[in-house]
């Protein structure tokens, strides 16, 4: 059986960044496994700019951002295979691959999971109506237009104010379509504020908050949708229902980490993020299985994915060289007021006084808040923020030596 120090499952931005960091830390016997014909992941279809401001100090398109890492992988001669699917990762870290050459098993010292995420579909929403053509997830529509030069519709309604949905509202408009409205169930924006300004406001596209699609009309092709305002329990208000003629409905209603492999490897999954629970080294519940990027939790910026994946690569390298710090104890990251989740979910505390960055999302928007980090009743740090929004990732930093109690808690208060 072939052996590798580290196998990386996925050749998107997370897998590429982890691989480069592994190489720089001295681990060369690695393998990147990508199921598509080319590496780059979702970035290949994200032709808009705005990527790379933090990482590279310039604004890049998605393919340009991915290509920088692909070029580095090529230059460093890091081994990779494409058009190859990982079927399973066993508890003893045997990775089973399937390709046109048949099945192959690799014994790894460590595995890094970087499978990314997928979109929620109509089936997850339970919208009544027939099953006509013209209903797409926003990402699928993006792939059709940007990768295959295929227009998906002319009169468009978009359900959900996620970033891909808003970006596709602009893209469809630029291609000559009429985007009638973006409809959002919540009473606040689901994506980045900058995308609302650049993709909706600048093109005069209406955003209907506290609304949802209640029914899809059409047999062979979408003929229109009914939308309605929702009450405080997110249930449609019947008397507000209206019919909007359209030939296309795009769904931008959230992303789900791709974690069938993680579950198969018996990795502990967070019930909030639907991704593996990790510590500050991006270790899962198995010490020799690491995870990073959107497979752990859905990020709004690819630069954050890169930073997190470099951390995973560096930690996996230290693990493979038996240099990862031993922990005296481990404490949970606890969500306080107006915090939906924290990542990492656990913090290992050893002899080194490490700086740990905790990423989090809030439950609801708020202005003029204090972000407070505590251990028990002891306040470790506080910082003010002008505003927080569920669509935008926040973070705080904490020194492990300061965590003297049995938890570390983050809260966002007025």
For residues 248 and 226, give the distance between their C-alpha atoms in angstroms, rounded to a whole number. 13
Residues written for the chain: 414
For residues 372 and 189, give the distance between their C-alpha atoms in angstroms, rounded to a whole number. 24
For residues 259 and 239, give the distance between their C-alpha atoms in angstroms, rounded to a whole number. 41
Per-residue model confidence as pLDDT tens digits over 226-282: 999 999 999 999 999 999 999 999 999 988 999 999 999 999 999 999 999 999 999
Burial of 133 (0-12, 13-18, 19+ CB in 10 A): middle
For residues 78 and 71, give the distance between their C-alpha atoms in angstroms, rounded to a whole number. 11
Contact indicator for 408, 331 with CB cutoff of 8 Å: yes
For residues 124 and 132, give the distance between their C-alpha atoms in angstroms, rounded to a whole number. 17
Which residue has better confidence, 210 or 351? 210
In this prediction, residue 122 carries a pLDDT of: 79
Residue 210 has pLDDT above 80, yes or no: yes
Contact indicator for 152, 145 with CB cutoff of 8 Å: yes
Q: Which spans in 56-204 are helix H?
A: 62-76, 122-125, 138-148, 163-174, 193-195
Look over the chain and give the mean of its residue pLDDT values, rounded to a whole number: 94
Distances (CA, A) of 407 to 351, 365, 375: 17, 26, 6
Q: Which of 146, 138, 135, 173 is nearest to 40 (CA)?
A: 146
CA 109 to chain centroid, in Å, comes to: 26
Residue 124 has pLDDT above 80, yes or no: no
What is the share, in percent, of the chain residues with pLDDT greater than 70? 100
Place of tokens 């499952």: 9
The whole-number average pLDDT for the span 51-57 is 83
**pLDDT interval class at 128 (50, 70, 90):** confident
What is the share, in percent, of the chain residues with pLDDT greater than 90? 88
For residues 125 and 115, give the distance between their C-alpha atoms in angstroms, rounded to a whole number. 23
Q: Find residue 333's DSSP bridge partners.
A: 408
Q: Which of 127, 119, 120, 391 is nearest to 236 (CA)?
A: 127
For residues 241 and 101, give the distance between their C-alpha atoms in angstroms, rounded to a whole number. 55
Per-residue model confidence as pLDDT tens digits over 320-365: 999 998 888 999 999 999 999 999 999 999 988 999 999 999 999 9
The whole-number average pLDDT for the span 197-202 is 97
Contact indicator for 412, 396 with CB cutoff of 8 Å: no
**pLDDT interval class at 91 (50, 70, 90):** confident
HSE, side-chain direction, 13 A CA sphere, residue 385:
21
Contacts of 174 (CB under 8 A, 6+ apart): none
If you compute the radius of gyration of the chain from its CA atoms, what whole number of angstroms results?
Answer: 22
**The model's pTM:** 0.93
The whole-number average pLDDT for the span 174-203 is 95
Distances (CA, A) of 378 to 5, 26, 373, 382, 403: 42, 40, 9, 11, 9
Contact indicator for 153, 248 with CB cutoff of 8 Å: yes
Q: Find residue 159's DSSP bridge partners.
A: 183, 251
Q: Which of 31, 126, 110, 13 is nearest to 70 (CA)?
A: 13
In this prediction, residue 120 carries a pLDDT of: 87
Which backbone phi and psi does 303 adopt, to 5 degrees? -60, -35
Contact indicator for 291, 276 with CB cutoff of 8 Å: yes
Contact indicator for 179, 205 with CB cutoff of 8 Å: yes
Residue 149 has pLDDT above 80, yes or no: yes
Terminal Cα-to-Cα distance of the chain (whole angstroms): 58
In this prediction, residue 379 carries a pLDDT of: 94
Q: Find residue 229's DSSP bridge partners.
A: 211
**pLDDT interval class at 52 (50, 70, 90):** confident
Per-residue model confidence as pLDDT tens digits over 6-40: 999 999 999 999 999 999 999 999 999 999 999 99
In this prediction, residue 352 carries a pLDDT of: 87
């Amino acid at each position: 059986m072939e052996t590798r120090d580290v196998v990386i499952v996925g050749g998107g931005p997370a897998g590429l960044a982890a691989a480069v960091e592994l190489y720089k830390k001295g681990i060369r016997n690695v393998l990147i496994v990508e199921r598509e014909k080319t590496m780059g992941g979702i970035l290949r279809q994200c032709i808009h700019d705005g990527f790379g401001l933090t990482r590279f100090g310039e604004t890049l398109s998605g393919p340009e951002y991915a290509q920088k890492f692909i070029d580095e992988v090529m230059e460093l001669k890091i081994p990779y295979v494409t058009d190859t699917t990982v079927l399973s990762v066993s508890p003893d870290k045997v990775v089973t691959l399937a390709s046109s050459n048949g099945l192959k098993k690799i014994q790894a010292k460590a595995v890094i999971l970087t499978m990314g995420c997928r979109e929620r579909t109509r089936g997850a929403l339970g919208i009544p109506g027939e099953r006509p053509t013209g209903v797409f997830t926003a990402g699928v529509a993006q792939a059709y237009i940007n990768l295959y030069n295929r227009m998906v519709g002319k009169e468009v309604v978009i359900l959900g104010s996620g970033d891909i949905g808003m970006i596709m509202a602009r893209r469809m408009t630029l291609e000559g379509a009429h985007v009638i409205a973006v409809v959002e169930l919540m009473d606040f924006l689901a994506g980045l504020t900058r995308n609302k300004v650049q993709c909706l406001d600048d093109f005069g596209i209406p955003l209907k908050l506290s609304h949802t699609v209640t029914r899809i009309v059409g047999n062979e092709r979408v003929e229109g949708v009914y939308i309605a305002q929702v009450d405080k329990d997110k249930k449609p208000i019947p008397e507000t229902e209206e019919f909007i003629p359209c030939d296309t409905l795009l769904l931008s209603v959230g992303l789900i980490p791709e974690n069938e492999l993680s579950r198969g490897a018996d990795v502990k999954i967070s019930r909030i993020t639907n991704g593996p629970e990790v510590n500050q080294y991006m270790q899962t519940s198995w010490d020799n299985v690491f995870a990073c990027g959107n497979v752990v939790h859905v990020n709004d910026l690819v630069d954050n994915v890169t930073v997190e994946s470099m951390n995973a690569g560096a930690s996996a390298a230290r693990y493979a060289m038996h240099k990862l710090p031993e922990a005296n104890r481990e404490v949970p990251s606890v969500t306080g007021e107006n915090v939906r989740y924290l990542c990492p979910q656990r913090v290992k505390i050893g002899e080194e006084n490490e700086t740990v960055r905790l990423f989090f999302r809030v439950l609801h928007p708020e202005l003029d808040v204090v972000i407070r980090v505590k251990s028990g009743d002891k306040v470790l740090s506080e910082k003010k923020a002008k505003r927080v929004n569920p669509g935008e990732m926040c973070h705080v930093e904490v020194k492990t030596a300061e965590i003297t109690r049995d938890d570390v808690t983050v809260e966002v208060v007025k």
